[in-house]
Amino acid sequence: MESHAEFLRRVTLDDALIAALREDYTKAPLTEADRAMLNYVVQLTRDATRLTPQDHDKLRAVGFDDLAIL
């Protein structure tokens, strides 16, 4: 997490966003697409066997294509 947070901080220069993401990404000021992607990543990390085609549909609905999902 720390290396990701540091990379994002350097790219965005937004310390408040990084702090919000560290505390609880579900409450951070994110776009709908970013939130959908993070929800997907959390499920992928916790138990990828429970991902369904509907999870991919949620990503497509906010603009991700199959390559981006992969």
Share of the chain above pLDDT 70, in %: 81
pLDDT tens-digit map of 36-56: 999 999 999 999 999 999 999
Locate 26 and state its tokens: 């579900």
Structural domain span for residue 18: 1-29
Q: What angle do CA 32, 43, 45 make, to 5 degrees?
A: 120
Q: Is the entire prediction scored with pTM above 0.85?
A: no
Whether 36 and 19 map to the same domain: the answer is no
Whether 38 and 25 map to the same domain: the answer is no
Residue 7 clears pLDDT 70, i.e. is over it: no
C-alpha span between 42 and 55 (Å, rounded): 12
C-alpha span between 2 and 67 (Å, rounded): 27
Q: Indicate the burial class of 21 (C-beta count within 10 angstroms; 0-12, 13-18, 19 or more).
A: buried
Using 50, 70 and 90 to split pLDDT, how confident is the model at 17? confident
Locate 47 and state its tokens: 């138990």
Give the chain's domain count. 2
